[in-house]
A and B are shown apart, each in its own frame.
Chain A
Amino acid sequence: MRVIMAGLLACLLVVGTAQARELKPYAGEPTPPLALVDVHGKAHDLRDYRGMVVLVNFWATWCPPCREEIPSMQRLKAKFAGKPFVILAVDMGESGASVKAFLKEVRLDAVMLLDIDGEALKKWKVFAFPTSFVVDPQGKIRYAVAGATEWDDPETIRRIAELLPAMRR
């Protein structure tokens, strides 16, 4: 019985590990516009972030995989503290109050944008939550991932770090 249980546990661990997705080179349409209001009512435009590496993350408070990846996203943010790196977290269809309430429980140093009517989701062609895009300092999407990922994975950090020096040239 113990052998069976151990086997089942091993299977579950393998499945669990396999569910984490990798950041992949982006092969979609050119960077769509992104102009939204944040949870405090302030307007933001992706174009205002030229010169920075931007992680655009489509998420929702009710989405378990979205919540699961927040701690590693925060560690990534801490890793690049002082560097021109910003996270634009685009919440799908929820109120500012819902997002603010959620952020009392979870820390994420990100600009919290609200896509109330799903227009940004449609333009960015997002079909799963979470979906993330890494935009380089020139405003071009370089990487993307559909599903939760470990943002402080060494390979992910390396890929994002490689984009940062390009900004200095």
Chain B
Amino acid sequence: MCRRLAFRLLCGMVLLSPFAVPAADQGETFTVVTEPGVEIPVTRYQATGDVLLWLPSEAGLTASEIHIGAQLAAQGHEVWLADLHAGRFLPTVPSSLGKIPASDIAHLIEVVRERSGKSVCLVASGSLTGIVLQALLLPRKQGSVVDGVVLLSPNLYVTTPPPGNEAEYQEVTYKTKLPIVILQPEQSPLRWRLELLQAALEKGGSYVKVALLSGVRDRFHLREDDPPAERALADRLSGLVAQACRDIDQIRMEGRK
């Protein structure tokens, strides 16, 4: 209950803050029940465009992401922001991700598709990526599919290996067959193995497009010590994500998945 109240306060604070975007609408907040006792708070910004379902990662849903959601809505995209941690009363620490079942995400996608009736572009990041791709492999209702996935700094390693040992990708990496756009900050260890990740995803049949984000670190849009370059790009992230979703549409139209 406390987390849900905090979530609503967070949304309110962002909308009232001096950084607030003149959004097309202020967003409505409601819950999606994925199983008995699990109510995931969702903020929906209605707009005429296609749907972006934004799933936060390790840090939970942040004020920065709510701000980006509002920016996207102002650009004409319908945005759904889901607070996966709050639905299960999980603290926003990295280990909590392991307690979020893929079925929560699969259920959310079904609800988004049913209620909006629109194409869905899914946005995920960091270590949530593996759970998101697993969700997309679960049996689903007809039509409950996404057009593609935008991945920010995806981490698909089974685990970070000790120094001097090779990393393994999660099995789901090789089973996914979707248009994928990776937005990878340049200042990151993940950047150096992008080619391997791309090859692993393509092995499963995915079409992967990669965009390197110059001069910024992983989670740049969530950091509080943000240098000017990160602050500037964080302000442009909504545009990059919107472009990535358009790229996914293009990939689909060209039948490249």
Contact = CB atoms under 8 A, between A and B. Distances in A.
Interface of A: 24, 26-29, 60, 62-64, 92-93, 118, 121-122, 124-129, 131-133, 141, 144-146
B48 interface: no
Q: For this complex, into which size category does the number of interface residues on chain B fall?
A: 10 to 19
Contacts, number: 61
Given A60-B187, A93-B186, A27 B164 contact: yes
A122 B193 contact: yes
Contacts of A63: 187, 217
B157 interface: yes
Pick the 10 closest A-B CB pairs, nearest first.
A28-B164, A118-B192, A144-B163, A62-B187, A28-B165, A131-B163, A127-B160, A125-B164, A146-B163, A121-B192
B165 A125 contact: yes
Given A26-B163, A27-B162, A93-B187, 17 more contacts: A29-B164, A62-B187, A63-B217, A92-B189, A93-B186, A118-B191, A121-B189, A125-B167, A127-B163, A127-B189, A129-B189, A131-B163, A132-B163, A133-B163, A144-B162, A144-B163, A146-B160
B163 to A, nearest CB: 4
A128 B166 CA distance: 13
B187 A28 contact: no
B152 to A, nearest CB: 17
A125 B163 CA distance: 6
6 contacts: A28-B164, A122-B192, A125-B164, A127-B160, A131-B163, A146-B163
Given A122-B193, A129-B189, A24 B162 contact: yes
A124 B163 contact: yes
A24 B163 CA distance: 10
A62 B161 CA distance: 22
A64 to B, nearest CB: 7
B254 interface: no
Contacts of B187: 60, 62-63, 93
